Amino acid sequence: MNNIKRIFLWLIGIIAFSNLYSQQPEWEKYWNQGTAYTQPKNRCELSLFNFSSYGLSDNLEISAHPLMFFLMPQVQVKAGWGEKSGVLLATEHGILYPTFFMRTVATKGIGGLISSEFSIPQMVGIYNRIIVSHSPFNNAIISAHGGITFSVNSETMDPGSSIDLPIIYPRLAVFYNQPAFDAGVDFRGKFTPVFGWLLSVENFILSGTAYNWFLQNKGVLAYTSRKEKLRIEAGYKLFYGRYPSGPQWHLLPDINLTFGIGK
Amino acid sequence: MTHLVKKFQFFLPVLAITVLALAISCEPLSTGFDDTEPAQYYQAKNIKAVPDTFKVIKVMTWNIRFGAGRLAWFGDACGERVIFTEDEILSVLQLIAEKINKVKPDVLLLQEVDLDSKRSAYINQVQWILEHTYFNYASSGFQWKTQFIPSDGLGRIEETNSTFSRWPISNAQRIELGLRKDQDDLTRYFYERCCLMSCQINIPGVENFYAVNIHASAFATDDTRQRQIIRFQNELKRIDDLGGWFVAGGDLNMIPPGSDTMDYCLVDKCPGESFHQPGDIPMHKEGSDYEPAIHWLDTLYTRYQPAVPLDVYHRSQYKYFTHTTRGTHFWDRTLDYLFTSYHWVENSAVTYQEAKRESDHAPVSALFILPR
């Protein structure tokens, strides 16, 4: 109990301390993935291991994953719908084409994540998400989101062709059973103008299968340059999932490097 | 070749990320084992009463091929299939359970029993067999435990040697038999780790009675199997030295000394393969040329009582054949054995060659006289 009190007091202290030091106006607009904020027009954020995004206008941004794009093309847009009573609203709409990736790894020998006995049909996943954000303090944003994903398959997928790995399984599960739902909370802020933190919890809930719940918790510390040109994140990702083989936990490192271009 | 290199380069980042990520997850990517480790215990949901008046018990060994029956798996039967459906596996398991319930062994040594493998629809076959037969207890040692094999779509594999008994099991140990040395490091990391399972069967009135269950390497082309047999013999000697009695058996992946046919490369070759021709590399198919190993079982036959004595085997070898690599072929070699340090009932050994749909191995049983 004493430990809980101590942690709570530390959190209050950190938030109070960071209130004194983080006086960066409109910092919410940058590095805002997972929030209802959209990037300023013409600003581009290029990320190595996460989505890269570009501000088409002050309330519309487009994003795609730089590394995975050529294997599993995925494009999404985020539209900001304004603020009401201190709560910012945005919606996110995306499309995912996994066929090329799955066909590539459905091979014999090394790299065969899927058995070559399975044929992979043409498939498209479409997702829509609503995001709300609120700033309870000067230096913190809390966001919540909920979404639904559908898939359109030219043929039914054989359950034996699933890739039963963390990260991959929950995201491709919609092509086997649909729809899939996701919901999560994102809490982020700044200790100082250049150092910040991010904690998030993401749930994936699948329909039509017993292997239907996946949870992802992320915690990172972030360094952001004063002119918002560079952000470095390092932390962890903790996964829990009910896979076809049974419940499993995975703890993975989370490292990301993002470059900001434009204001 | 250039195409292969390009393909490999393409996969390298994906594989590297996968391996790195999983290597530090809560479960190792591929589980290694100490030389000797405690084995896992299982129990049926409902314990069935066992009469304590046994003077003789029936012991059976059977490699059940993870419930795949005679389906053409890519790894051992020139097949194209890697992943079988739940219906396919359950229908074969049903046949296996029916055979066990008909033969009624009291101690059962099974090899290739899957626990949580993608290839066999993630069915816990040890528990399934306990619930569909009259056995009360089981103990398992991992022959293969890999969280994810990024090759051929294999995914997760958990394969065991499992010993079933009507009576409680104790002191169950998994004993490492030694890894193949004729593989590269990466393949060996993800590959099976052959083991034997040694445990005590607690039959009322019978002291120090052990069951030893082995599955030796099938495809090693070096001296791996010889080292594994020596490790097997060492365990049997340990039980001897303790003053105990044992029944020991399993899939030794070697043919009996003096067998008429020692080279099965041409029988086992898949379409498009060539062996024994000038320039063929390799000259012999992996796991099909038994000639170099033909005397590796001599000591076992000399030191212990085989369920099928060599002279009996030599008189009509085909009657004791227990294995074939093809789904459509009849049994063409003997790989499965039972030995004891005490006594079998004479001429009690049976090779169930009619069990052709259940596995690519036939079960073998014999009656063991209890040392009361």
Write the pLDDT tens digit of every residue in A117-152: 999 999 999 999 999 999 988 789 999 999 999 999
Residues B107-160 have pLDDT tens digits of 999 999 999 999 999 999 999 999 999 999 999 999 999 999 999 999 999 999
**Confidence (pLDDT) at B198:** 98
Residue B37 has pLDDT above 90, yes or no: yes
Which residues is A74 bridged to in the sheet? A96
- Cα–Cα distance for residue pair B247/A155, rounded to 1 Å: 53
SS3 readout for chain B: CHHHHHHHHHHHHHHHHHHHHHHCCCCCCECCCCCEEECEEEECCCCCCCCCCCCEEEEEEEECHHHCCCCCECCCCCCCECCCCHHHHHHHHHHHHHHHHHHCCCEEEEEEEECCCHHHCCCCHHHHHHHHCCCCEEEEEEEEEEEEECECCCEEEEEEEEEEECCCEEEEEEEECCCCCCCCHHHHHHCCCCEEEEEEECCCCCCCEEEEEEECCCCCCCCHHHHHHHHHHHHHHHHHHCCCEEEEEEECCCCCCCCCCCECHHHHCCCCCCCCCCCCCCCCCCCCECHHHCCCCHHHHHHCEECCCHHHHHHCHHHHCCECCCCCCCCCECCEEEEECCCECCCCCEECCCCCCCCCECCEEEEEECCC
A&B contacts, CB < 8 Å: 88
Nearest to A246 among B13, B116, B154 (CB): B116
**Confidence (pLDDT) at A27:** 73
Q: Closest-CA residue in chain A for B122? A: A245
Domain chopping of chain A, boundaries: 2-187
Report chain B residues whose CB lies below 8 A from the CB of A71: 14
A210 touches chain B (CB under 8 A): no
CB contact under 8 A, A166 and B83: no
**How close is the nearest chain A Cα to the Cα of B12, in Å?**
8
Is B61 within 8 Å of B323 (Cβ atoms)?
A: no
CB contact under 8 A, A166 and B14: no
CB contact under 8 A, B82 and A117: yes
Report chain A residues whose CB lies below 8 A from the CB of B18: 165
Q: Mark out chain B residues that contact chain A at CB-CB < 8 A.
A: 7-8, 10-11, 13-15, 18, 21-22, 24-27, 74, 80-85, 116, 118, 122, 148, 150-156
> Tokens at residue A169, please?
């399984």
Residue B2 has pLDDT above 60, yes or no: no
Residues B303-358 have pLDDT tens digits of 999 999 999 999 999 999 999 998 889 999 999 999 999 999 999 999 999 999 99
Mean pLDDT, all residues of chain B: 92
Is B48 within 8 Å of B167 (Cβ atoms)?
A: no
Nearest to A160 among B15, B83, B150 (CB): B83
A86 touches chain B (CB under 8 A): no
Q: Closest-CA residue in chain B for A165? A: B148
- Cα–Cα distance for residue pair B276/B286, rounded to 1 Å: 13
Q: Closest-CA residue in chain A for B9? A: A111
A118 touches chain B (CB under 8 A): yes
Nearest to A111 among B15, B85, B155 (CB): B15
CA angle A132-A135-A140, nearest 5°?
115
Residues B351-361 have pLDDT tens digits of 999 999 999 99
DSSP letter (8 states) at residue A156: P
CB contact under 8 A, B22 and A250: yes
Residue B128 half-sphere exposure, CB side, CA atoms within 13 Å?
23
- Domains of chain B: residue spans and CATH: 1-27 (no CATH), 31-369 (3.60.10.10)
